[in-house]
Amino acid sequence: MENYGTNVVKSVLSVKQKVKKVLEKYPSTRGDYRLLYYYYIKEYCPHLTITFREFVDLFNQPSPESISRCARKIFEEEPSLLPTEKTQKKRYVRQLVLSELLVNEVV
């Protein structure tokens, strides 16, 4: 699990650096998270081929965050639908690592 935490830190810092580059290269992304996400995908995920129109159609669906919040609420109400213990532990470690990053303002 310790190695997992290190990987989370590296991943978060890597994403932060990439987001900064996108914000610098495409000033219009500073006021629009959809554009920011679109250009992030275009710059750093070239294997994902998607037109801007397809992206907008996809983006107009419920966000991953909304779906995650609903899932967490369902898990509270119906514990039988919880993920495996291994997955729960990984999520817990990730949450601890991210919380520590935020507290120490590393991100």
Task: State residue 62's pLDDT score.
Answer: 85
CA distance 5 to 12: 11
What pLDDT, in 10s, does the model give residues 90-102? 888 888 887 777 6
What pLDDT, in 10s, does the model give residues 26-61? 999 998 888 898 899 899 988 988 888 888 888 888
Task: Count CB-CB contacts under 10 A for residue 29.
Answer: 19
The sign of the dihedral angle between the CA atoms of 41, 44, 45, 47 is: positive
Q: Which pTM value belongs to this model? A: 0.57
Arithmetic mean of pLDDT, 11-24: 86
Q: What percent of the chain has pLDDT over 90?
A: 26
